[in-house]
Amino acid sequence: MSFTYGSDDKSGEQARFDAQKIAFAPIMFQAAKALRDLGILDYLMKNRRKGALLEDIARNLDLSEYGVKVLLEAGLSLEMVKVENDRWSLTKTGYFILNDELTRVNMDFTNDINYKGLFHLQESIKNGRPEGLKEFGKWNTIYEALSELPENVRKSWFAFDHYYSDDSFPEVMKYVFKDNPAKILDVGGNTGKFSIFCAKHNRDVRMTIVDLPGQVAEARRNIEKLGLEKRIDAIAVDLLDRSVALPKGYDVIWMSQFLDCFSQDEILSLLQRVYDALDENGSLFIMETYWDKQRFEASTYSLHATSLYFTAIANGNSQMYHSRDMEKLIERSGLYLDEVIEKVGVSHTLFKCKRKP
């Protein structure tokens, strides 16, 4: 199967305009964020019937007319606002920047986690390390740092992570619980959201979370608050250490948005450890967002950008994968792809894998 994507059929004029959008992207991103965070978009939303005069916006928001003027004019080029007879109003794009949760989560993630660190993208590519992470401190990967990052950064990271996976959990229950598993291993279980969801969904199932110490400590706190500690266990391990085996005796091993945190070589090692841990009746479920499986161009665009977060900030060697990358690794690990469930949640695909006989 050959690899063919992309097209080049726009006019020269359009192509040159698009090149300028790229050339000025960081400036225009900050303009959009300022229009949102300084309350200008919100003011326009509230005055959408008649539109608003620039002076009124400035006075009501306690900003200078100069400041509001330069932002609104940038907003014209961003197609976030329009002006008719001196009255400014929101466009559909402006509406989404203000009100759409997906857009807000992505913008905060870009700004709070990535913006400064992406200055180190080229070094990261050359060195194979997340050089941008040093903007926050000295760590090898962001996963070691998660529990210690500043609160606003943590908030944006978790909002981004949870936005994508939370919606999918209810949808996957029928697949995960199809064969009535008694024990499920939630690898990369983070703060316990999936395990808690499963424990509430099925009163008999026993869950075990495996994650790094910082995340396990937070998961334990969440589990205790709900009194679920007899049904949800949590083990702190670093799975980058290839000598760490996955525990045996589980009917289902669950990995959600987990394997994209690893290089292809590391994924192979993790899948081989799944192979060693499962018996012939067990199943591995992998829930991922593959860039080739998206229904919307906007999703593919977001995933290609997210890959570079992994390069410069998260770990320096992983990405949002093409489904074919993952299929090849599954095949090499001794497992096989038993079932593919498409269109789960916002953008997920669910792979069910078994041990080859």
Residues at the contact surface with ligand SAM, assessed by CB under 6 A: 143, 161, 165, 188-190, 194, 211-212, 215, 238-240, 256-258, 261
Nearest approach in angstroms of CB 180 to ligand SAM is: 22
Nearest approach in angstroms of CB 161 to ligand SAM is: 5
Of 306 and 333, the one with the shorter C-beta distance to ligand SAM is 306
Of 143 and 285, the one with the shorter C-beta distance to ligand SAM is 143
Nearest approach in angstroms of CB 255 to ligand SAM is: 7
Of 94 and 192, the one with the shorter C-beta distance to ligand SAM is 192
Nearest approach in angstroms of CB 143 to ligand SAM is: 4
| C-beta of residue 177 within 8 angstroms of C-beta of residue 200 | no
Of 176 and 261, the one with the shorter C-beta distance to ligand SAM is 261
Beta bridge partners of 340: 351
| C-beta of residue 188 within 8 angstroms of C-beta of residue 258 | yes
Of 47 and 215, the one with the shorter C-beta distance to ligand SAM is 215
Nearest approach in angstroms of CB 105 to ligand SAM is: 13
| C-beta of residue 214 within 8 angstroms of C-beta of residue 241 | no
CB within 8 Å of 272: residues ≥ 6 apart? 333, 334
Nearest approach in angstroms of CB 100 to ligand SAM is: 21
Of 47 and 257, the one with the shorter C-beta distance to ligand SAM is 257
Residue nearest to ligand SAM according to CB distances in the complex? 188
